Chain A
Amino acid sequence: MMERGASRLLEAVASATASALREAETTLPADVLGAIEGALERERNPIARTQIENILENVRYAGEHALPICQDTGVPVVYLTLPPTVPFTPDLREAVAEGVRRATAAVPLRPNVVDPLTRQNTGDNTGGGMPAVHVTPGDDLTITVLPKGAGAENCSRIAMLLPSQVGSVARFAAETVLLAGGKPCPPVVLGIGIGSTFDGAAARAKEALLLPIDTMTPYEQEICDAVNTLCIGPMGLGGDVTALAVKVRQGHCHTASLPVAVNVQCWAHRRATRRVEV
C-alpha cells in the first residue's frame, strides 16, 4: 500500500515536471510578457522597435502552435518545495529527471546537456547532475522549472567585492551588461545575489530570477536604470531598453566579504510552476 502510494507520487512528479516544462518552453509568464509590451511602449529607436515587435510576434506564434519560444530550450533548472511528509530521495530526484526526458521527447526540446570535457551529448537533457534540482522545505509539493539558455548564462559574472564597495553593486551589474553587449539577447532580466558566500551568491542570483518582475524595489529600480543608461538596446542594436527588470536576493555574509553574483537572463525569461497533491 505504502509502495503504491509512493509510486503514484513519483509518477505525479514526473508528469508535473514535464507539464511545467512544456508550459515554460512554449509560453511566457504574464509578468514577462507585460514587461516586453511595456518595453515596446517606451522604446524610441526604430531598429530596436522592429526587434521587440519580432519578439512579440514570435511569442504569439509559439503559443498558438505550441512551439518552443526559443530553439535554445536551455538546461533544466528545477526548484522543489517539499512538505514534511515527502523526503527528498534518489527516487524523487529520478522522477524529476524522468519528467525532463519526457518533455525533451514530447515538446520537443533540443538535447543540450553534454559532458563538460568530452562534449558528448547525453541526448535527453539529463545525466551528470542534470537536471539541477534545488530543494527547500515548504507546505506543499511544488515544482518550478527555469530552463536556462546558454547565451545569457554565459554572460553571468561573480565578484568578491570589498565591504567598502557596497555602493558598487550597480556598477558591477552595469559592467556585466556592458561586457555582454548583444550576446545575451537583451532586453535582459538580471538576477542579482548579494552577500552569503561565493556559491551562495550565485545560488541567490538564480533564485532572484524566480521573483515576479512586474514590481521592483527602489534599489532594484536604481540598478535597472543604471543598466538602461548604456543604451545597448534590444539585441545590442541600440535603444532605450537594455534591461526589462532587475531582481535582487540577498543573504548575510562574512564581515570581511561582499560576494555579488549577476545571473543574466534573456528576454525569453521562461518559468512555470506545478503543485502536486501528496
Chain B
Amino acid sequence: MIHLTTPLGDEVLELRAGDAVTLSGTVYTARDEAHLRMMEDGIPFDPQGAAVYHCGPVIKGERVVAAGPTTSARMNDLSGFLLDAGVRALIGKGGMGPAVREGLGGRGVYLAFTGGCAALAAARMRLVGVYYEDLGMAEAVWQIELDRLPLIVGIDASGGDLFADVGQKAKIHFEQRFNK
C-alpha cells in the first residue's frame, strides 16, 4: 500500500492504474456547479499539488456526516483548468473521459473511491472550511482533512486507464455474447 499526503508532487507520476493507495491531508469537494463557478471567478484555494474530490457531502453543523464520491464523468469537460492550475489528483467514482486522461498526462492522477461508501469516508474526515456555501450543501466546496482514505488509481499520469480497459473488454464480451 502506497501512502500519499497533500500537497502532492511528482510522487504521483510513479503511480500506475490499479495501484492501491491511501490519501491523507486536504481535499476540496467540487461538483458541477462549483466547477462552473471556479471557471468564472477563479479557484478559491491554492491549487498547487491540491486534490479535488467529486463529492456532495451531507454536513451537519461542523461535522461531515456522509461523503462518498459522485459520478466523475459529469466533470469530464470541466476539469482542464484545474489541472492547468496545478491540481495533482482528481478523486471520484466511475472514471473520466479521454480529455481528462490526456490532461493528467505527466501531471496527475485520477483516484477512485468506492461509490456509496459515504459513512466509511466520513469516518476518516474532519471538516475544515467551506467556499461557495450559497450553492447549497451538495454543490459547495468543502475543505476537508483526510486520514488515510483508501483509493485505487483509476487513471495514471502515463495514460494508463483501468476504467477504459475494463470498458473495452466489456464491449468485446458484449459483442461476443450478442452480435455473433
What residues of chain A have their CB less than 8 Å away from a CB belonging to chain B? 47, 50-51, 54-55, 57-59, 61-62, 65, 67-73, 108-112, 119, 121, 149-151, 154, 171, 174-175, 178, 181-183, 185, 226, 229-238, 266-268
**CB <8 Å contact, B163 and A236:** yes
Identify the interface centre among A68, A72, A174: most chain B CB within 10 Å of its CB.
Answer: A72
| 14 intermolecular pairs with C-beta atoms under 8 Å apart | A70-B117, A71-B57, A71-B118, A72-B68, A73-B58, A174-B177, A174-B178, A181-B94, A181-B166, A181-B167, A182-B93, A182-B166, A231-B169, A236-B95
| Residue from A109, A171, A237 in contact with B58 in the complex, judged by beta carbons closer than 8 Å | A109
CB of B8 within 8 A of chain A?
no
A16 vs B99: C-alpha distance in the bound complex, in angstroms?
Answer: 48
Interface size class of B (residues with CB under 8 A): 35 or more
**CB <8 Å contact, B120 and A71:** no
**Closest 9 CB pairs between A and B?**
A185-B115, A62-B119, A71-B66, A58-B117, A58-B120, A71-B118, A54-B114, A182-B94, A183-B94
| Residue from B68, B138, B166, B177 in contact with A238 in the complex, judged by beta carbons closer than 8 Å | B166
**CB <8 Å contact, A71 and B56:** yes
CB of B150 within 8 A of chain A?
yes
**CB <8 Å contact, B162 and A237:** yes
**CB <8 Å contact, A233 and B119:** no
| Residue from A57, A69, A71 in contact with B67 in the complex, judged by beta carbons closer than 8 Å | A71
| Residue from B60, B116, B122, B165 in contact with A108 in the complex, judged by beta carbons closer than 8 Å | B60
* Contact code string B136-180 (vs A, CB < 8 Å = 1, else 0): 111000000000001010100000001101110111011001100
CB-CB < 8 A to A71: which residues of B?
55-58, 65-68, 118
Chain B: minimal CB distance from A221 (Å): 15
Chain A: minimal CB distance from B122 (Å): 7
Additional pairs, 7, CB under 8 Å, beyond known A69-B116, A112-B138, A238-B162: A57-B120, A67-B65, A72-B68, A151-B94, A174-B174, A232-B166, A236-B163
